[in-house]
Structure 1
Amino acid sequence: KILELEPDLIIGLNGIENADKLAEIAPTVLFTYGKVDYLQQFIEIGKVVNKEKEATAWVADFKTRAAEAGKKIKEKIGEDATVTVAENFNKQFYIYGDNWGRGTEILYQEMGLKMPEKVKETALEPGYYAISQEVLGEYAGDYVIFSMFQDQDNSFTDAAWFKDLEAVKNGHLFEVNANAFYFNDPITLEHQLKFFEEKFLQ
């Protein structure tokens, strides 16, 4: 399939299979995910395609815009307000640290919003932490960004324990399309930033 595309360059992750065969098709550059931070990763890819200057300029601009949005959000919700990022997948809930996609990089790293202590204790170091649905309330902050796959069983939103969450009762639970929020590439980051500005500042 890749051969049919006749690529001039192949970029991938270092864990992919048949990397040696790919290198026979075209020059192949493999990256180790997490070796550098998410924005530096974009700059590294920029270097490969001779667009380092453009990539670096975008990163600087993005950081500025995200920080400004974070300042406005903190002014509105309060410096001490906490935010939890959660996801439903195969009837299992996950909560996330500050570098696992789903908007976590923007919320925690760029905007400097606070993570609930229990999320910090369990999810910050590994990046994510699996919990059962009914204990979400123990990890839920003042605001919850809830990542949902539309093809999953999301009937829990009708459950009494879910409706009883403070974030739900206060209108502070924001559902996001998991497929659109999954990654931390520039296109996804722009989408996430716009979403947070609209939801938190509306």
Structure 2
Amino acid sequence: MKKILLPALLLIVLALAACGNKQEEPAKEDTPSKEQGTSDTITYQSEEGPVEVPANPQRVVVLSSFAGTVHEFGVNLVGAESWSKDNPSFDSFLKDVEEVSDENIEKIIELEPDLIIGLNTIKNIDKLKEIAPTVTYTYGKVDYLTQQIEIGKLLNKEKEATEWVDAFKARAQQAGEDIKAKIGKDSTVSVIEEFDKQIYVFGDNWGRGTEILYQEMKLAMPEKVKEMTKKDGYYALSAEVLPEFAGDYIILSKSDTGDNSFLETETYKNIPAVKNDQVYQVNTAEFSFNDAYTLDNQLDFFIKSFLGTK
């Protein structure tokens, strides 16, 4: 499946990182939680019901977009899917981690995981459950920060996850105020990406920093983008109409291996944000995600790009 149809991340529904969802508290019965089990396990209330998982997992396999969150909360990874392995910003902690897939059951068995995590779109879930406790999530069922806390609960790291979310929100919201004070509260920002010879714009919940820009920082989205991404969270368009979707500032998600020929067209070059040097370029492979580790990096990038500080 094309990675653009993640979210994400983006995520596909694992795609280049999903449905636009706001930071609303989910209904109580839909919100997974954990309860204490034995001294060696906890009972995690997953979307599918209670699951006995290790109280201190040591060998985690991630088959979707959560590797950065697992690492951020200090838990050891032994396997991760190719999408995460291809992310250069993850090299520091995934370099020696085995690449796995939901179709290579034998390899996962060899890794002897004590916990497997993925999106509910992965294959062979029943077989995976025979190897180790397996917990899956529906992308977009809860908002992106609640998702971090859910992973924290699963890993028995709820306190750490909650502290991370609180600190992240405070820093992102302050940065948003500072940015609006500098560029003007009505200035708009677009997130644009080329993938598989197609140009996309993104709404407020499809990785690539969109959650930070629109949900936390409350930066303005161009009306055309808001209208056309309302249904799917992203929208495919032609280079000819790109100016209609371009904000006063552009976050350009770019891959060196993609078809970036539209960047050389007069249509693109004449976009005001381009002419005013208000385009901030990011690496698609690094920016598509919305895990805790990536969110921190995205926030650093926005603060540096818009404010010249970090």
TM-score normalized with structure 2 length: 0.64
From 116, 122, 127, the counterpart of 1:16? 122
From 83, 87, 97, the counterpart of 2:193? 87
Higher helix share: 1
**Alignment partner of 1:190 is 2:300:** no
Identify the residue that residue 179 of structure 1 maps to in structure 2.
Answer: 285
Structure 1 residue 33 displacement after superposition: 1.0
Conserved? CA contact 2:239–2:267, under 8 Å: no
Identify the residue that residue 257 of structure 2 maps to in structure 1.
Answer: 151
User: In the aligned structure 2, how far is the partner of 1:13 from the partner of 1:81?
Assistant: 35
Report the secondary structure of 2:141's partner residue.
coil
Identify the residue that residue 71 of structure 1 maps to in structure 2.
Answer: 177
Q: How many percent identity over aligned positions?
A: 63
User: In the aligned structure 2, how far is the partner of 1:120 from the partner of 1:13?
Assistant: 26
Report the secondary structure of 2:142's partner residue.
coil
Conserved? CA contact 1:137–1:165, under 8 Å: yes
Identify unmatched segments of 5+ residues in structure 2.
1-106
**Alignment partner of 1:110 is 2:212:** no
Structure 1 residue 15 displacement after superposition: 1.6
Identify unmatched segments of 5+ residues in structure 1.
none
Conserved? CA contact 2:200–2:237, under 8 Å: yes
Could you give the per-residue CA deviations for residues 141-180 of structure 1, whole angstroms, max 9, x where no partner exists?
1001011111112122221111111000001111110111
Identify the residue that residue 152 of structure 2 maps to in structure 1.
Answer: 46
Identify the residue that residue 231 of structure 2 maps to in structure 1.
Answer: 125
Amino acid at match of 2:134: T
**Alignment partner of 1:200 is 2:306:** yes
Report the secondary structure of 1:10's partner residue.
strand
List structure 1 runs of 4+ shifted beyond 6 angstroms: none
Report the secondary structure of 1:84's partner residue.
strand
User: In the aligned structure 2, how far is the partner of 1:158 from the partner of 1:140?
Assistant: 16
Identify the residue that residue 204 of structure 2 maps to in structure 1.
Answer: 98
Report the secondary structure of 2:224's partner residue.
helix
Which stretch has the larger CA shift, 59-68 or 150-159? Answer: 150-159
User: In the aligned structure 2, how far is the partner of 1:63 from the partner of 1:95?
Assistant: 24
Amino acid at match of 2:241: V
Report the secondary structure of 2:194's partner residue.
strand
Structure 1 residue 30 displacement after superposition: 1.1
Report the secondary structure of 1:146's partner residue.
strand
Conserved? CA contact 2:179–2:307, under 8 Å: yes
Structure 1 residue 124 displacement after superposition: 3.0
**Alignment partner of 1:165 is 2:271:** yes
Conserved? CA contact 1:147–1:176, under 8 Å: yes
Report the secondary structure of 2:303's partner residue.
helix
Identify the residue that residue 242 of structure 2 maps to in structure 1.
Answer: 136
Report the aligned-residue RMSD: 0.8
